[in-house]
Amino acid sequence: MAEQFDVVVIGGGPAGYHAAIRAAQLGMKVACVDAALGKDGKPALGGTCLRVGCIPSKALLDSSRQFWNMHHIFGEHGIGFDKPKIDVGTMIGRKDKIVKQFTGGIAALFKANKVAAYYGFGQLQPGNVVTVKQHDGSTVELKGTNVILAAGSDSIELPFAKFGEHIVDNVGALDFDKVPKRLGVIGAGVIGLELGSVWNRLGSQVTILEALPTFLAAADAEVSKVAAREFKKQGLDIRLGAKVGKTEIKKDGVHVTYTDAKGEQTIVVDKLLVCVGRRAATKGLLAEGTGVKLDARGMIEVDAHCHTGVDGVWAVGDCVRGPMLAHKGFEEGIAVAELIAGLPGHVDFETIPWVIYTEPELAWVGKTEEQLKAEGVPYKAGSFPFAAVGRAVAMAEPAGFVKVLAHAESDRVLGMHLVGANVSELVHEGVLAMEFKGSADDLARICHAHPSLSEAVHDAAMAVHKRAIHKA
């Protein structure tokens, strides 16, 4: 006999745990099913983001940044010391501790909100029944008036580069036991740049092979240009238009053969990180006859409100259309819980921020200049360099700029593009301005603290109207 719930969520990652907790806050009886195990072999909630994504990568980015700064920035401040050393085991241990703290935190939140956690693989059956194959081999049945599918995504594996000891995805690259002398990366996307940066800062010789001829095509072209220049200075060897066709594991390392404008070439590396995108983790999620449809890429088909078209069945996060970002999943999870409760839940896709946590950081929201031109939208642009911002120079982080794009007639903010120190935080000025339908003039007339990095946003907004004070 299936236990009855108001809401059964499959997946305890960012989208799923937000949905579960919000539904419980709204007075519903909620169950959340998750199959993942932590490094210690015990159930670990929080999904890719908390276990092997956003949080652990930021822990390693921060550790490696401290190490890099000791070599490259501290001297500028007059701080000297004997040769700094990195103990990879301690660094990884710190990361694991942070992961445990946060995955355990979700379990505690479930307890506090009376969300029943079921640990095992969940499958949707017809009639909104979810079967859970638990880790001890037993199966339980849960029936939900509503079921929310939040199964997340998996790394795409290339047929000629199977994951193993030497060829890894993000999971493996977060757990190297020593700094690989030579690290190859396939894909100059978000994961390639972030994890490539981590190991480069610690001393790896990093070569990134990117199939596309343009570097970071999704970002504003000027932002990508500054980022490419800074990454090159740091020693990241990014090769564009490089189509990898073969890998071979030999005694001296992984031989990676690719073709670019110069013809066929081979690099030899100790470890190879493959990060060419992710796909929806929908394999085995749906039993026959549920009526839930998958598209050609295995994503669950949903409408604008994350409804699958099957009564009471919803889907959120990486397993549905839209950017594969934890915070997009957060918002969809909350919105669906609120819709189920009869409240007006919604997610504004136009104002979802993007951040790449490299050094400098990259961040953006809204349209790029390239998109506005293609759409024929008249716009004005104002930008301001961090090199002219006192706080950035005092921090020895003068690289980058902020660019504000506003409609040429209404002055409404249409996009904000940033590259520089801490822009992962600054981008939210753009998000707020766009959500509140603000103008560049609104941003320019808001008093910003001096000295602060946010002055670059203020002056970029002033530059839209050619009145930036600190710009010659």
Point out which span in 5-13, 110-118, 317-325, 365-373 binds ligand NAI (CB under 6 A).
317-325
* Residue 194 marked ligand-binding: yes
Number of chain positions touching ligand NAI (CB under 6 A): 25
Q: At what angle do helices 54-72 and 190-201 cross, to 10 degrees?
A: 40
Q: Judged by CB, which is closer to ligand NAI: 223, or 444?
A: 223
Least distance (Å) between residue 275 CB and ligand NAI = 4
Least distance (Å) between residue 393 CB and ligand NAI = 26
Q: Judged by CB, which is closer to ligand NAI: 182, or 465?
A: 182
Least distance (Å) between residue 348 CB and ligand NAI = 18
Of 115, 168, 238, 356, the one binding ligand NAI by CB under 6 A: 356
Point out which span in 23-31, 274-282, 361-369, 393-401 binds ligand NAI (CB under 6 A).
274-282
Q: Judged by CB, which is closer to ligand NAI: 38, or 329?
A: 329
* Residue 331 marked ligand-binding: no
Tell whether residue 189 is a contact of ligand NAI (CB under 6 A): yes
Residue 63 CB neighbour total at 10 angstroms: 20
Site for ligand NAI in 95-114 (CB under 6 A): none
Binding mask 119-158 for ligand NAI (x = CB under 6 A): ---------------------------------------x
Point out which span in 31-39, 68-76, 110-118, 186-194 binds ligand NAI (CB under 6 A).
186-194
Q: In what order do the strands lie in the sheet with 182-186?
A: 167-168, 271-274, 182-186, 205-209, 237-239
CA separation for the pair 240, 221 (Å, rounded)? 15
Of 357, 379, 384, 386, the one binding ligand NAI by CB under 6 A: 357
CA separation for the pair 354, 220 (Å, rounded)? 12
Distances (CA, A) of 382 to 308, 416, 444, 462: 42, 10, 11, 7
Residue of 245, 347, 316, 325 lying closest to 278 (CA atoms): 325
Tell whether residue 188 is a contact of ligand NAI (CB under 6 A): yes
Of 191, 306, 319, 404, the one binding ligand NAI by CB under 6 A: 191
Q: Judged by CB, which is closer to ligand NAI: 16, or 385?
A: 16
Least distance (Å) between residue 153 CB and ligand NAI = 7
Tell whether residue 254 is a contact of ligand NAI (CB under 6 A): no
* Residue 332 marked ligand-binding: no
* Residue 277 marked ligand-binding: yes
Of 168, 183, 186, 300, the one binding ligand NAI by CB under 6 A: 186
* Both tokens assigned to 229: 């220049």
* Both tokens assigned to 374: 């293609």
Least distance (Å) between residue 185 CB and ligand NAI = 9
> Please, are residues 147 and 10 in contact by the beta-carbon 8 Å criterion?
yes
Q: Judged by CB, which is closer to ligand NAI: 217, or 343?
A: 217
Tell whether residue 278 is a contact of ligand NAI (CB under 6 A): yes
Residue 156's region, left for phi above 0, alpha for psi from -120 to 50, else beta, is beta
> Please, are residues 401 and 418 in contact by the beta-carbon 8 Å criterion?
yes
Of 55, 244, 285, 335, the one binding ligand NAI by CB under 6 A: 244
Least distance (Å) between residue 427 CB and ligand NAI = 12
Cis-peptide into 56, omega within 30 deg: no
Q: Judged by CB, which is closer to ligand NAI: 150, or 191?
A: 191
Q: Which of 450, 458, 465, 470 is catalytic?
A: 450
Point out which span in 276-284, 360-368, 381-389, 395-403 binds ligand NAI (CB under 6 A).
276-284
Tell whether residue 324 is a contact of ligand NAI (CB under 6 A): yes
Residue nearest to ligand NAI (CB): 189
Least distance (Å) between residue 156 CB and ligand NAI = 7
Q: Please say if 450 is a catalytic residue.
A: yes
Site for ligand NAI in 21-40 (CB under 6 A): none
Q: Which residues are catalytic?
A: 450
* Residues lying near ligand NAI in the complex (CB under 6 A): 158, 186-192, 194, 209-212, 243-244, 275-278, 323-325, 355-357
Q: Residues marked as binding?
A: 58, 122, 187-194, 210, 277, 318, 324-327
Q: Residues marked as binding for NAD(+)?
A: 187-194, 210, 277
